[in-house]
Structure 1
Amino acid sequence: MTTAPLSAALRVPTRLRALAALPFVLAATAYPLLFAVWSGRLPDPLATHFSTGGEADGYTGRTAFAVLGTVLLLALGAGWTALVRRGALWGAWLTAGLLGTLLGLVVGDNLDAADPARVVSPLSNLAVAAAVGGVLALAGHALSRLVPPEGPAGAEGGAGPDAPRLDLGAGELAGWSRATASAPLTALGLLLLAGGAAGALLGPWPLLPLAALIAVPGLALARVRVNVDRHGLTVRSTLVPRPRVHVPLADIAGADVRQVDALREFGGWGYRVRAHRTGVVLRSGEALVVRRGSGREFAVTVPDARTAAALLNTLAERRGRL
């Protein structure tokens, strides 16, 4: 495995991280300004929790709500800045636009309210926030072109003579299966759900759905089963039928084992997309890396990856691919 110098690897993320932080910095700056400009027109406390019909049923102090929203924006911004990759920059802009708009709309709903109990937050606020988030997602996607794509990492070519193989007879069949889990993904998902529940009690009611939207996909990938057989490689969640990743045997040019760093190489945990590779990354360490016919790589972190790679190479060789 070839590794670029650390200084070269850090040049691209610097610009990328700045672009990921930008929408959160703008939102976290504009949000307190609303309170400063409208301080004399806002009740104290504010209506910040609403029923499904939009009627106010929960309240938060004006200063507390200003601080809570600003801290939430900055915390999410810090997370995106630390873990974002070029192909996911749009997600940072979507998150900042969606949350920033929701918080601003809740403040606007309270404007000139004599009695916070009579404040109404219409469901159309969600549509407005989604529209703003969508526009910013497109902007983030366009800005990602300012960041050079990551080069391919890892070994070049298919499986060479030193790649692992299993000694199978001509008529023998074999399969391999292993379940693996991610403690970081599980912890992050549960913390997000807990934070969303706390925010739903103390802050605007959309916080719980927003937290669930982020946490549930992560929890679905927190435990997966990796299967290798005559059909190829399959990675699926053990909790739900989807997500599922399948690489057909006919598309496998070679397989090997590699030590990966989840944060440095993939930017975090879960299903990761890079310029020349994708992966289901649950931790740092041993990973099964499959080179596809297109030249792209797919990696999955799983124990006993060498046995899985050996079986894939043997089965692919039988098909005349190697």
Structure 2
Amino acid sequence: MDVDGLVAVDVHTHAEVSADGRTSMGAELFGASEKYFKQHPRPTIPEIAAYYRERRMAAVVFTVDAEHATGHPRISNEEVAESCAEHADVLIPFGSVDPWKGRAGVREARRLVEEYGVRGFKFHPSIQGFAPDDRMAYPLYEAIEELGVTALFHTGQTGIGAGVRGGGGIRLKYSNPMLVDDVAVDFPDLRIILAHPSFPWQDEALAVATHKPHVYIDLSGWSPKYFPPQLVRYANTLLKDKVLFGSDYPVITPDRWLADFDALDIKPEVRPRILKDNAVRLLGLRTEERTTRS
């Protein structure tokens, strides 16, 4: 990856469809998401690569493994990793392991990093149906910390299940960023990203990120014109080295996100940190070599 040639690193994009056409969620939840975010294309991973390559950006790509809670089979982590490896000039693979899988999930996480070059893991507590501070998930966190990769947690409200009867069974309380504070205490060397402006818990997210050295915030899922003022203020000051560009592509395009970000009152010296430099440092894009499966 030519890091110097990149204009930005998007740390939050979704693989919503597999090579054989299977989707990452069932029809009911997908329908609710499209109603909430408005209908959008579902690009394959090669199409994601082409999109970002055209814009001279890199992107972190992941799916969500929530088989325990939803019963819907996930998109294969191996497929995500292998497809990203074919487009390693612009794509960075993250995995997703349902923490309810216990020891099998821990073994999978180790294999994905050691054999497939995965750089981190995505958790969506509300969809996966677990509280981040549940000790059930601790063996998985321990492995991720030991492997030296990143844990990215969805925080705040989600459009998934919005408007569906009972919210599709999705409990918003699990995505309070304060639940990740225990994780940051008990795994002090684990690199953590709190994904999204964390409505209605924005202040909690800011508190955790300012207090815990290895907790970052990504700005995905919202147009910047809707960012809470305290988030903008902290991004400009105390958290200028810990805030990351993320779009939530394909539900929000980086084109739209960046256009709105241009109008935001962000200091000129802080903009490149948010758009690229902080992610390059966090993910080790200059110093680490991608491990490929032999």
TM-score, normalised via structure 1 length: 0.27
If each structure's strand is expressed as a fraction of its own residues, which one has the higher value?
1
Which structure has more relative contact order (CA 8 Å, sep 6+)? It is 2
TM-score, normalised via structure 2 length: 0.28
